[in-house]
Amino acid sequence: MPLYPHLFTPLDLGFTTLKNRALMGSMHTGLEEHEDAPERLAAFYAERAAGGVSLIVTGGISPNPAGCMYVGSSMLNDASQLARHIPITRAVHANGGKIALQILHTGRYGYHADAVAPSAIASPISAFTPRELSAAEIEQTIADFANTASLAQRAGYDGVEIMGSEGYLINQFLVERSNVRQDAWGGSVANRQRFAIEIAKAVRAALGPNSIVIFRISLLDLVEQGGTLAEAIELAQALELAGVTLLNTGIGWHEARIPTIAATVPRGAYSWVTRALKPHVGIPLIAVNRISTPEIAEAILARGDADMVSLARPLLADPEYLLKAQDGRALEINTCIACNQACLDHVFEGKPASCLVNPRACNETELNVVTSQQPKTIAVVGAGPAGLMAALTAAQAGHYVTLFEAGPEMGGQFGLAQNIPAKAEFSETLRYFTVMLAKFNVEIQLNQRVTAAQLAGKFAEVIVATGVVPRVAKIEGIDHASVVSYPDLISGKVPPKQKIAVIGAGGIGVDVADFLVNGMHTEREYLAEWGVDTTLSHQGGLVAPQVHDSGREVWLLKRSKGKPGAGPGRTTGWIHRIGLQRSGVHLWGGVEYLKIDDAGLHVRHDGVEKCLPVEQIVLCAGQESVSDLYTQLQALQQSVHLIGGALEAGELDAKRAIEQGFKLALTL
């Protein structure tokens, strides 16, 4: 019997069979608009197909100009564009996979002046107010969806996914929040659902009976004036009658102020929503969000929550996720840590997506580990994220690698960060490195603070990844007994007290504040604290959040103006700030630190001198590189390289560190 019997059971769709129950969910990679998109996307998707995924869904492609995310983003509305898609479908098919094109009309989420919507109501996340579609334009838009589906079939796609969730155009028609029309396309529930149903009918008619039609349906909008479960059931049943093959269950609009895919969300936390729909339809349902490991996927399927699971970011992190699971090598999976830093953050910054733990993601045509014809002896000093990646990649290329670490454990700042509730997933990355370093015979020497003399001349190459040390702030009384470093606090060496000031509100300061007021959440606790309606009886799926009391009073302070609390991360910063605010953390910017004494921390804030009566002051005022070894080895004329925090302290950046380690190892 396979280790994951439900995950690896084929799914019979009548006209075709999927080899397992895993779908690669849609992700816009940012490659779609590049000139070399056919080559790069073909390589990207082919690698995932070869890794065992049953069915791939592409990033969103617009059916017309008004539906584009921004001017110049990807469309498929003319036969002249087929040449950009045919290499992709051929590559997937050659590697044993199936692929569907996602048809996405952004509606009022379109970031351009020609955005349209059911009603002229602006979204809180776009600067543009959309124009209301006329009845004739609605009919034309339905035809445009069908046209794109027909073109997708000509390009070799096995089907399409109609994007009807996450707050995009179809979802906008469904709810009173964004549809206040009084004609045949608004008002009653039936009228508001008409657009979605007519699109499904038109797409099925365009494709014929033997193509996959997935509809991504929103079951939990998580916005005011959103939909209800009863409405979603009614729509799902109509979509089944319209010829939809699979229902992919979407959770939350993009403008919702409740996290759905960040690391703060417990794994598999939303599959219960999919389960609520299951008794009401006869077609297969797909569960989504935070299905990070095969164990989570198997549990969802075994419970009967869904018939398939959608894996998006997990397949960015490791294209062989399914192959490794099927072969009994789950510990070798490079698990997604839900950080969003290189995937969603990149796309929202207009850059191609990648992955913090897998820099090859979306770079498959450029970054590949090639076995060296002349293996070298390589020393890597420092087992933080940069050193771990450099050591593993060099060993995978066939070099003889010794990894030295001054401390008793591997991980560096990454290992420290795994103690933060929102970063507990970092332990998965350290597990991956531990397993893979052993597999590729890297010699690991812990508690070894090596000197330049011990290394020079004994290795062909030395990689210095010795990381950082905390910077000591220049404040009168900084040596007071109440002052502690963030490593000592987070590691547990120094226990936290009840009234605490955190000096510095960058990423580390935010993490420390989170550590002090937020513990690990069960699924039930998480849903309650964020106000998710687990009864599915309230419009939009919202109830009043339950306030969490940590029992501590915490001040998060920074010198610069503005309210602190977001930390790094364009798509996740708001989560940290809301969480800290709800936990009662005082968020102060524009703070001048005067002195520290027995009375507490003396500051000037808003022009007024104040004494914060704190028992503990945690220093998070930046870091300094530890690079002496590099300088000493240079003096001894040893071939040496500097990466990670040792090269650039600044704001700690695991994404940059891991990428540096990976790319350097490819050049050795």
Alpha-carbon distance values, 213 to 47, 160, 202, 271 (Å)? 24, 5, 11, 22
Q: How far apart are CA 22 and CA 35, in angstroms?
A: 30
Q: Which helix (H) or strand (E) holds 380?
A: strand 377-381
Catalytic-role residue among 168, 270, 321, 630: 168
Concerning whether 432 is annotated as a catalytic residue, the answer is: no
Burial of 181: CB neighbours in 10 Å, binned 0-12, 13-18, 19+: middle
Instruction: Return the ∠ at Cα 664 (arms to 658 and 668), rounded to 5°.
Output: 145
631, HSE (Cβ side, Cα atoms, 13 Å): 6
Long-range contacts of 451-456 (CB under 8 A, 24+ apart): 451/629, 451/632, 452/629, 452/632, 452/633, 452/635, 452/636, 452/638, 453/636, 455/379, 455/381, 455/633, 455/638, 456/633, 456/636, 456/637, 456/638
Per-residue CA distances from 7 to 314, 495, 600 (Å):
15, 43, 56
Cβ 430 vs Cβ 410: under 8 Å = yes
Instruction: Show the 3-state SS of 480-543.
Output: CCCEEEHHHHHHCCCCCCCEEEEECCCHHHHHHHHHHHCCCCCHHHHHHHHCECCCCCCHHHEC
Nearest Cα residue to 212 out of 237, 245, 240, 242: 245
Parallel, antiparallel, or unpaired: how do β-strands 55-61 and 586-588 relate? unpaired
d(CA 244, CA 182): 28
Q: Give the closest residue to 619 by CA, choosing from 640, 599, 593, 588.
A: 593
Q: What are phi and psi of 588, to 5 degrees?
A: -120, 130
If you count DSSP H runs as helices and E runs as strands, how many of each does the chain have, helices first? Answer: 21, 27
**Adjacent-strand bridge partners of 220:** 251
Residue 622, helix vs strand vs coil: coil
- Asked if 62 contacts 112 with a C-beta cutoff of 8 angstroms, the reply is no
Residue 377's alpha-carbon distances to 402, 438, 634, in angstroms, are 8, 17, 18
CA atoms within 13 A of residue 324's CA, in its CB half-sphere: 20
Catalytic residues: 168
